[in-house]
Amino acid sequence: MVELVVTDLDGTLWLADGGLPQSTRQAIHKMERQGFSLLVATGRRSWSAAHYLQRAELDLPALVLNGALGRDNGGGDIFHRRAFDPADARRVLEVFEGQGVNPCVNFECEQWDLVSGPSPSAGQVYLNWAGPQLKVVGDLGTMAGSLPVYAFSVVAVPEIEVLRCIRDELAEFAGVGSVNLVRDKVFGGWTLDCSPRGVNKWIGVEAFCNFRGLDPANVLAVGDDDNDVELLERSARSFAMSHASDRAKA
């Protein structure tokens, strides 16, 4: 018996432009009438996920930042959070900076939810889109060592080689849970993100089940990329999109 359906957002629940097909909207309403719970699980940050959910006229609980943070309907109660150890966060930042890359860092703050040091390395199309949600500071290292950090990312970079080097180095570091390097479906180029040790979408799903009194053995999951693999592996029923990554399909 399925109690909870968990779905990724980009390339899964909605189209590349964030649009929601009418057939999908009808299916969501049918699920609600039949008493199923629906949870979205995405690599997007809080503001970005909330922006597109509101645009789609959906009020759903969401796991963001690949499962590091979970918010209930309406962006309200936080039912799950797991941040980097401060020493690990400083070490991750050193890896990026050692390759000449200035990443964006996700804290959780009402004033801003994306922070970078001077001259962020993300693609200009992404920086333009982030707009006032991006705060540029002079000393990112001090902030990363003193405030909870939920993710590091560099988005829409044209060249992949330097990101491969960062990915490989971070993959060897025990303070990192997951490192994802993917072709960006929204902004173009390549995007790399990394999460704290012990973080993945399934961990967040378990926290949501505990929060709502659901059985994690009764989860159906839908995804399309490498950051969905743990979710697809652990769910009782799982489905990968036809355009999914090889790991997700496997």
Identify the CA nearest to 149 among candidates 117, 110, 106, 180: 106
Q: Give residue-wise pLDDT tens across range 99-142.
A: 999 999 998 876 677 899 999 999 999 999 888 889 999 999 99
Q: Are 53 and 18 in contact (CB under 8 A)?
A: no
Q: Give residue-wise pLDDT tens across range 196-236.
A: 999 999 999 999 999 999 999 999 999 999 999 999 999 99
pTM of the model: 0.89
Other Cβ atoms less than 10 A from the Cβ of 158: the count is: 8
Binned at pLDDT 50, 70 and 90, residue 55 comes out as: confident
Round to whole Å and give the CA distance between 29 and 18: 18
